[in-house]
Amino acid sequence: ESLTVGELAEKLHRDSSEVIKKLMKLGVMATKNESLDKETIELITADYGVEVEEEEVIDKLDIDIYTDENDSEENRTERPPVVTIMGHVDHGKTTLLDSIRHTKVTAGEAGGITQHIGAYQIEENNKKITFLDTPGHAAFTTMRARGAQVTDITILVVAADDGVMPQTKEAIAHAKAAEVPIIVAVNKMDKEGANPDRVMQELTEFELVPEAWGGETIFVNVSAIKGEGIDELVEMILLVSEVEEYKANPDKRATGTVIEAELDKGKGPVATLLVQDGTMHVGDPIVVGNTFGRIRAMVNDLGRRVKSAAPSTPVEITGLSDVPQAGDQFVVFEDEKKARSVGEQRAARAKDEERNLTNRVSIDDLFSQIQDGNMKEINVIVKADVQGSVEAVKGSLEKIDVEGVKINIIHAGAGAIAESDVILASASNAIIIGFNVRPDVNAKRTADVEKVDIRQHRVIYDAIEEIEAAMKGMLDPIF
Ligand code: GDP
């Protein structure tokens, strides 16, 4: 629930007119009944020297600050890890997901296996693991672009007979940008030309070095088709999660992220939600993205109706008033009236803003962002016509060091600027530098929508000089 000017004044024990005057000084024209966003509320309260109690400002856009009386550190207990499988096309992602599911789901449950809700859970030694089976990298990146982080561990699938391919590199870049641990599954070990050593060798270039060679990356040889190596892979996932200690509080109201959603002719809006914290129950009032509702029914990954869903559990729900988007976050509220009012406000605001992407990094305002202290690292994606140029541009960029601000190259490769580069840039707030390459049509369109800055150059020196100048504020006519 957000606050109107009048409500805020009351909480501050001030006159509304006084608050309105203060707002005017801040350049905000607002009447007494106008609602204020969180930033503005904070500005005003800071001006009065008052700290905002988070519960007082359960802002419609700020699910993160929503708190619960049962929310305390000691209530947090172990939760299953959430795993995403990535890799080059045809290297066996789908087959591996199927294989894990079939190997690990007990016979009694197998009946429900046809159900597809975009995610599933397995159980091994009384420990659960959640797998997202949304295809390709798109799910991962669009979710991250929307600010949702759902993946705990990435399984990088590399075919032993094919080795590291373009989408393998892309997957590595995505996982690294999200700071998610990577387990490498070297697949198709049953094939004639399988050469796992070559895969390991190739991956050392990306700092994925196997333990046997003194590194820290876990490699597991598998044959998804024959179901070989699956036990070990599952063991390794459990090992990583033991080290990482993923936790959540099952006693509080549920929060989480939309995995996928659609409109079903009979059931209305249907959404697969991943509960990331708390426990969700049938009947719960809920705000999901810009929509809201009351959970009418919940179905698990086996197609069974369930009454509640604990942390890391994926469930398909009905009862929403509209279809949310993948990557939207959700929050369960204690009463339906509140959920409705927050949901309606969010919908109204979403319409107002449509897309607010003003925080995007761009060459033109790099200096002011650095000055504001918002920018300690500048994320950059480098694309060039040939590998030699990629290395040259990368090398020169990495040497730039202006006032302690570092250039961080999150992805570099030869070839045209593709839509996936733009999505990665958008998810990581990065600038794309193209050297003798252009964005393709899709990349250009997405860059326009997502407001990603693409700089194209024909001379390496120009590319370097431009970014260095931008960092020093030399593009600013005042200097
Ligand atoms: P994806 O595009 O990464 O999802 O790859 P798929 O799972 O669709 O697999 C691509 C092809 O490789 C299919 O024809 C699979 O049958 C085959 N494949 C997948 N895993 C294996 C494996 O372990 N061994 C062999 N020989 N073929 C496999």
Work out the pLDDT band at 254, boundaries 50, 70, 90: very high
- Bigger pLDDT: 364 or 281? 281
For ligand 1, pick from 89, 93, 95 the residue to mutate: most ligand atoms within 8 Å of CB: 95
pLDDT (0 to 100) of residue 115: 62
- The owner of tokens 């929509």 is 291
Here the tokens at position 111 are 């009946």
- Bigger pLDDT: 25 or 300? 300
pLDDT (0 to 100) of residue 13: 76
- Bigger pLDDT: 236 or 119? 236
Question: Which ligand 1 atom sits closest to the C-alpha of 89?
Answer: 2
Q: Is the C-beta atom of 93 inside 6 A of ligand 1?
A: yes
- The CA distance from 362 to 177, in Å, is 18
- The CA distance from 476 to 479, in Å, is 6
How far, in whole angstroms, is CA 351 from its chain's centroid? 23
State mean pLDDT over 178-186.
Answer: 94
pLDDT (0 to 100) of residue 356: 44
State mean pLDDT over 259-284.
Answer: 93
Instruction: Find, among 195, 182, 184, the residue nearest to 229 by Cα.
Output: 184
- The CA distance from 316 to 30, in Å, is 41
State mean pLDDT over 276-291.
Answer: 92
- Asked whether the whole model's pTM tops 0.80, one would answer no
Contact 161, 125 (CB under 8 A): no
Q: Is the C-beta atom of 91 inside 6 A of ligand 1?
A: yes
Nearest protein CA to atom 2 of ligand 1, as residue: 90
Here the tokens at position 303 are 């197609």
- Bigger pLDDT: 78 or 3? 78
- The CA distance from 352 to 290, in Å, is 12
166 is in an annotated binding site: no
Q: Could you tell me whether strands 305-306 and 291-299 are parallel, antiparallel, or unpaired per DSSP bridges?
A: antiparallel
CA of 211 to the centre of ligand 1 (A): 26
pLDDT (0 to 100) of residue 173: 87
pLDDT over threshold 80, residue 272: yes
Q: Is 90 left (phi over 0), alpha (psi -120 to 50) or beta?
A: left
Q: Is the C-beta atom of 187 inside 6 A of ligand 1?
A: yes
For ligand 1, pick from 86, 88, 90, 222 the residue to mutate: most ligand atoms within 8 Å of CB: 90
State mean pLDDT over 102-117.
Answer: 62
Here the tokens at position 210 are 């196997």
Percent of residues, the chain, with pLDDT higher than 90: 39
Instruction: Find, among 219, 222, 256, 221, the residue nearest to 240 by Cα.
Output: 219
Work out the pLDDT band at 354, boundaries 50, 70, 90: low
* Tens-place pLDDT, residues 191-207: 999 999 999 999 999 99
Instruction: Find, among 300, 350, 299, 360, the residue nearest to 322 by Cα.
Output: 350
Percent of residues, the chain, with pLDDT higher than 70: 85
Contact 268, 320 (CB under 8 A): yes
134 is in an annotated binding site: yes
First to last CA, the chain: 45
- The CA distance from 305 to 315, in Å, is 9
Instruction: Find, among 241, 298, 262, 292, the residue nearest to 134 by Cα.
Output: 262
State mean pLDDT over 274-294.
Answer: 93
CA of 90 to the centre of ligand 1 (A): 6
pLDDT (0 to 100) of residue 362: 74
Contact 9, 22 (CB under 8 A): no
Burial group, residue 122, by CB count within 10 angstroms (0-12, 13-18, 19+): buried
State mean pLDDT over 223-228.
Answer: 96
pLDDT (0 to 100) of residue 337: 83
CA of 175 to the centre of ligand 1 (A): 22
Nearest protein CA to atom 19 of ligand 1, as residue: 92
Q: Which is it for the CA torsion 464, 468, 473, 478, positive or negative?
A: negative
pLDDT over threshold 50, residue 248: yes
Question: Mind spelling out the 3-state secondary structure of the chain?
Answer: CCEEHHHHHHHCCCCHHHHHHHHHHCCCCCCCCCEECHHHHHHHHHHCCCCCCHHHHCCCCCHHHCCCCCCCHHHCEECCCEEEEEECCCCCHHHHHHHHHHHHCCHHHHHHHHCCCCEEEEEECCEEEEEECCCCCHHHHHHHHCCCCCCCEEEEEEECCCCCCHHHHHHHHHHHHCCCCEEEEEECCCCCCCCHHHHHHHHHCCCCCEHHHCCCEEEEECECCCCECHHHHHHHHHHHHHHHCCEECCCCECEEEEEEEEEECCCEEEEEEEEEECEEECCCEEEECCEEEEEEEEECCCCCEECEECCCCEEEEEEECCCCCCCCEEEECCCHHHHHHHHHHHHHHHHHHCCCCCCCCCHHHHHHHHHCCCCCEEEEEEEECCHHHHHHHHHHHHHCEECCEEEEEEEEEECCECHHHHHHHHHHCEEEEEECCCECHHHHHHHHHHCCCEEEECCHHHHHHHHHHHHHCCCCCCC
HSE, side-chain direction, 13 A CA sphere, residue 256: 31
* Tens-place pLDDT, residues 18-43: 787 777 777 777 777 778 888 788 77
281 is in an annotated binding site: no
Interface confidence: ipTM more than 0.90: yes
pLDDT (0 to 100) of residue 114: 54
State mean pLDDT over 285-300.
Answer: 92
* Tens-place pLDDT, residues 47-76: 776 655 544 333 333 433 345 566 667 778
Here the tokens at position 64 are 């993160």
State mean pLDDT over 350-366.
Answer: 62
pLDDT over threshold 80, residue 100: yes
Question: Which ligand 1 atom sits closest to the C-alpha of 191?
Answer: 26
How far, in whole angstroms, is CA 383 from its chain's centroid? 23
CA of 353 to the centre of ligand 1 (A): 44
Contact 144, 137 (CB under 8 A): no
Question: Which ligand 1 atom sits closest to the C-alpha of 91?
Answer: 3
Work out the pLDDT band at 335, boundaries 50, 70, 90: confident
CA of 139 to the centre of ligand 1 (A): 20
pLDDT (0 to 100) of residue 167: 87
- The CA distance from 441 to 416, in Å, is 11
Can you name the residues that pair with 286 across neighbouring β-strands?
293, 332
Question: Which ligand 1 atom sits closest to the C-alpha of 99?
Answer: 20
* Tens-place pLDDT, residues 381-400: 999 988 888 888 888 888 88
Lowest mean pLDDT across 37-46, 77-86, 223-232, 352-361: 352-361
